[in-house]
Structure 1
Amino acid sequence: MSDRVVHPIEVESYRRMRARLDTTHLPPLTRAVVERVVHSAADLAYADDLVTDESALERAHAALHAGAPVVTDVAMVAAGITRRETVCRLAEAEAGPGLTRSAHAVRLAFDEVGPGALWVIGNAPTALEELLLLDARPALVVGLPVGFVGAVESKAALRASGLPAVSNISEKGGSAVAAAALNALLYHPLSPSKDAL
């Protein structure tokens, strides 16, 4: 993977964000995820809303850079992950009794990738709920679905599951922030730098 060229606007944006939000007390990968999510949404409140675990992020970072598959719930999340191929099976999925298209897409994707993938869910709480029913043994679940119906509950269930995860407490979330959390791990060097963009 070639070195990422960071645009001067992004550098200045991070400078301004860091002038308003002190993240220096956070461990490296947690800091990278928090800052990239805050940056993607221009929402400083994510710093207190996100729930992460540094040791889980370290293992996920290693798996990601070793080539573990990345699965997304919707094409918009996949579109935000620009430096890695992803699996998204929503286009082939079908709804059925008690099953949303998003949940069916999770089943289809799991059939394709098996255990050990990184799952990035930013849109559909039902996709996250379905993932929790599978024996997916994920490297990481970025569970940041957005909405007033099921989002908070599905993220709480993710945290209660004990799976390695990035989630948040509130209804907030969405494709951009879910992709940003995964991108933070993609962009972070294998030899971590404190100020990596």
Structure 2
Amino acid sequence: MNVDTAIIIITHGSRRNTFVEDMEGVTKYIEDKLRIPVYLSHNEFTEPNWRNLVSSLLEKGINNFIFALAFLGRGNHVAKDIMGSFGVNEFYKWVEAQYEGKKLKVYFTRPLADSPLVKLSLLYRISSALRKDNSFNFLEDPEEIEENSMELSRQKVREITGKDGEELEIISRAVYASGNLEIARHIYISKDAIEMGVSALKSGIGILTDVKMVKAGLRWNAENYLDDAVELAKKLKITRTAAGIRIGLSKEPKIVVIGNSPTALVEAIKMHEEEGVEIPLIVATPPGFTNAVEAKERLISTDIPCIVLRGNYGGSNIAVSIMNEIIRYARGKNG
């Protein structure tokens, strides 16, 4: 920074020493971060008064001033007492001005009330008080939390989609798992998809997943062949997830749950259409901007029973939540 520029913090001022000590701490913090001198001044009640400080610095040949206004709002002290003394009414802009007959350039920061950090700081401090108040209680019982959240999710999903019954439950579970109400508008459930999934599970047909995260989240024994797919992926020049799906479906029919990989979904569709592999249900929620949308729309156009989160939305947690709801139906609602 130029040697002819001064940074001056201006506060309202107070007769209490504690106020001055607090503001000196703020000034030192800023000075340490900037590694240049920062002056603390006040509008009234205590010294140094900003007017005297500016006069003194002008005498020393300093004619560029950055004024950091340590006020909350744009009241008369800011508009009239301080900025008005320079004939200035703009923030965040270098402006030519005059003070005591001398030409100078000034730059004013805005008061603090519109800063998101100030708002956030106040919010945290108020929240801290509420947390300490025994009359302000959070739900702590896991079952109560889940049921309360699910009921709120059902209400919102019903308003958005008009769905009811099993479809309402599946979409509500997906919304609950993702925390994103918007996906309720984008979940496609084909005719008989839920019934086919439940019947397949009851008849002993297994579940095949694209990634381990989906397998880990399911409340049913599932298969994943990602670790066995390296050589096949190289040989066929496809992704490991696609190769894992090919290995799994080559053994016997399975429900396919795709939470992450569009290429795995494409491979399942190819095996069904080109090789006649039977797939009783595909749950598909892969997210992304490359292949994901196209792969999911391709699935919807086939005769495979499916539950699909359309668009760029997706994620393994959503696929797991949908499939676990079908598992719950297969086990008799409370499984």
The two structures share one fold, judged by TM-score above 0.5: yes
Give distance in 2, aligned partners of 1:170 and 1:183: 22
Q: Which of residues 143, 149, 158 in structure 2 aligns to 1:13?
A: 149
Count of residues in correspondence between the two structures: 186
Aligned twin of 2:212: 75
Aligned twin of 1:129: 266
Q: Which of residues 173, 186, 196 in structure 1 aligns to 2:327?
A: 186
Paired residues of 1:70 and 1:118 also in contact (CA < 8 A): yes
Give the structure with the higher percent strand.
2
Q: Which of residues 183, 187, 208 in structure 2 aligns to 1:50?
A: 187
Amino acid at match of 2:249: F
Paired residues of 1:65 and 1:186 also in contact (CA < 8 A): no
Aligned twin of 2:295: 154
Paired residues of 2:226 and 2:240 also in contact (CA < 8 A): yes
Larger Rg: 2
Residues 11-66 of structure 1 show CA distances to partners (whole Å, capped at 9, x for unaligned) of 11112223433269424221221111111001111211000024221122122233
Aligned twin of 1:107: 246
Paired residues of 1:14 and 1:39 also in contact (CA < 8 A): yes
Please say which of residues 32-41 and 17-26 is displaced more in the overlay: 17-26
Q: TM-score, normalised by structure 1?
A: 0.86
Give distance in 2, aligned partners of 1:125 and 1:189: 27
Q: TM-score, normalised by structure 2?
A: 0.52
How far the C-alpha of 1:189 sits from its partner, in A, is 5.9
Task: Kindly report which structure 2 residues correspond to 1:81-100, keeping only aligned pairs within 5 A, or say none.
Answer: 81=218, 83-94=219-230, 95-96=233-234, 98-100=237-239
Residues 74-131 of structure 1 show CA distances to partners (whole Å, capped at 9, x for unaligned) of 00011110x210010011111325311111101111123x12x210001110000001
Give distance in 2, aligned partners of 1:9 and 1:189: 24
Kindly report structure 1 stretches of 4+ aligned residues shifted beyond 4 Å. 189-192
Please say which of residues 72-81 and 55-64 is displaced more in the overlay: 55-64
Q: Secondary structure at the match of 1:22?
A: helix
Please say which of residues 64-73 and 174-183 is displaced more in the overlay: 64-73
Amino acid at match of 2:146: E
Q: Percent identity?
A: 30
Paired residues of 2:198 and 2:330 also in contact (CA < 8 A): no
Name structure 2 gaps, 5 residues minimum. 1-141
Name structure 1 gaps, 5 residues minimum. 1-5
* RMSD, matched Cα: 2.1
How far the C-alpha of 1:132 sits from its partner, in A, is 0.7
Give distance in 2, aligned partners of 1:60 and 1:98: 31
Aligned twin of 2:311: 170
